[in-house]
Structure 1
């Protein structure tokens, strides 16, 4: 299949180990910490900044757990994990990381709480200690990249870098242009991400939710509408996805599915189906009602489902096991050309 893609990037120069400066990551939470580990495993020195004392103190133990997980499942060699751990340091202040003279970071990645004003403030403070050539990015899952860059002196060196959770198991990263992002910034970050084993996809326009979350939330909204209208239970809706069309989405994307089905057939179905889908511009009334009742999902052990802690752990374990199988399959496929050339 000849894939036409908007992700064609010219390979760009970028700082790489061992001569590169550290990758600075602001925030050591669910995304920041494993993202740092991804870079450390590729040979980079990583400097985490975490201002929350308990979270800062827990970085060594959380890193150990992550590395043990990766080694246990055969995704990282023990020797590689052993070398990665000393490459990561954590501080509770930005000044400790950015003040040393003569040290130019390879990149700065903002991964603090998903709040526009907080992110803008953190990015502006960090930029004051950076030379203009250092690429800066935010791991936001949907906030405007243009708005985030509003307080920067050099917005041309800033872009989005949406790592999907969990970052150590999902290869894709959405790299998003802001209104003033330079092409060289996106090219350099994409090349750097490829170097550490990621699959960057370029989002050329700064739209809410980028690509992935627009698709995901459209699906979730219709799933809620199906449940709210009494068509099916939440469990059956999820089953249709996980045991039905979701099985093929990991191999063939929605637009390729259209081509395989025939665009004339897709048009015929759309002509009668789309008018019956949920087209409201507001959040689902079912979702709103659940939140108002304090039913927040696994946080409160009740949402669309009733949960126990054991069920939460089991669901996450099953999810991670599937992601691990997919990663192994990716690596096996990538190794085939190299093996066949010998």
Structure 2
């Protein structure tokens, strides 16, 4: 399914716009369903800006103005009829997502793939009550979706693996390096590992072992140094497996296993902190420095993509024959 079929999307918030940008940049025509047609002007400006960034970074061959002409934005679900793939990216609400799927099932083919850009809701839960649950998959993107190579394709309890493999092939044609989860689990791969890390980070800060700044500094200069080059299993191969077993035996019993959210985080959120979006977070910001951090993050996202592309992930090996 790597031909340039028309792709449908649902939702054009920040992430939805970024997803639409990625698909447009890969050469597809896109039909985007929105709840309120008043969203159209703002979404078009946002997507055109994203496309312009891609052009400036050498990741888009056509002119942004020509590419955005391939985008149709509508508030009529019937306009998605005939689409082979529709990707939903709305709020993380089971009820709201299911309303979208039920509406889609009235207009699209029974074999058309529905993808949900969920970051935590189990796909099996989203499949419940659908006429054709086997064609619903989780398609987890990373922000900014039009820059990052990350994608997780998640099978729910009722998913047919054939559909997942079609999305994997399609995602590779979009410049992604997708991972496949053959069984559904809350949080998928990256969120489960990241939140385990966050739990331990809060444990160190809240118990006085280190400051926020020192935790960030250590991870940036150790984990941040190698993680783009190699995932944890490859890194253990590269640096000697046996030593890790010894550390695991000693360290695992002492790691935090709390099941409650950090008090420090609850207080920040209660105080209205959202991070750089409102210049209030773990660090102190002015509106100007917050905007500067957002700009730097975008620049870094392009730079890290280019760096990752320099280093192959598989040298003389076939993932299908991997033993781990």
Rounded Cα–Cα distance in structure 2 between residues aligned with 1:39 and 1:261:
38
The alpha-carbon deviation at position 107 of structure 1 amounts to 0.5
- Structure 1 residues without counterparts, runs of 5 or longer: 1-13, 338-342
In structure 2, relative to structure 1, the CA distance for the partners of 1:253 and 1:73 (3 Å cut) is same
Aligned counterpart in structure 1 of residue 113 of structure 2, from 132, 135, 154:
135
Question: Counterpart in 1 of 2:322?
Answer: none
In structure 2, relative to structure 1, the CA distance for the partners of 1:85 and 1:300 (3 Å cut) is closer
Q: Secondary structure at the match of 1:123?
A: helix
Q: Secondary structure at the match of 1:306?
A: coil
Question: Counterpart in 1 of 2:211?
Answer: 233
Question: Counterpart in 2 of 1:318?
Answer: 296
2:57 counterpart of 1:73: yes
Rounded Cα–Cα distance in structure 2 between residues aligned with 1:278 and 1:311:
33
Q: State the structure with bigger RCO (CA 8 A, min sep 6), 1 or 2.
A: 1
Which residues of 2 match residues 15-30 of structure 1 at below 5 A?
16-17=3-4, 20=5, 22-30=6-14
Aligned counterpart in structure 1 of residue 249 of structure 2, from 245, 248, 271:
271
Q: Secondary structure at the match of 1:175?
A: strand
Rounded Cα–Cα distance in structure 1 between residues aligned with 2:277 and 2:116:
26
Are the counterparts in 1 of residues 55 and 63 from structure 2 also a CA contact under 8 Å?
no
2:143 counterpart of 1:165: yes
Tell me the TM-score normalised to structure 1 length: 0.86
2:280 counterpart of 1:297: no
The alpha-carbon deviation at position 179 of structure 1 amounts to 0.3
Rounded Cα–Cα distance in structure 2 between residues aligned with 1:185 and 1:273:
41
Aligned counterpart in structure 1 of residue 125 of structure 2, from 147, 150, 153:
147
Tell me the TM-score normalised to structure 2 length: 0.90
Are the counterparts in 2 of residues 136 and 159 from structure 1 also a CA contact under 8 Å?
yes
- How well do the aligned residues superpose, as a CA RMSD in angstroms? 1.9
Q: State the Cα deviation string for residues 145-196 of structure 1 (Å, max 9, x = none).
A: 0111113100111111001110011111100000010011111111111122
Q: Secondary structure at the match of 1:89?
A: strand
Instruction: Provide the aligned length of Structure 1 versus Structure 2.
Output: 313
Which residues of 2 match residues 76-155 of structure 1 at below 5 A?
76-77=60-61, 79-95=62-78, 97-98=79-80, 104-155=82-133
Rounded Cα–Cα distance in structure 1 between residues aligned with 2:239 and 2:171:
34
- Tell which deviates more after alignment, 65-74 or 114-123: 65-74
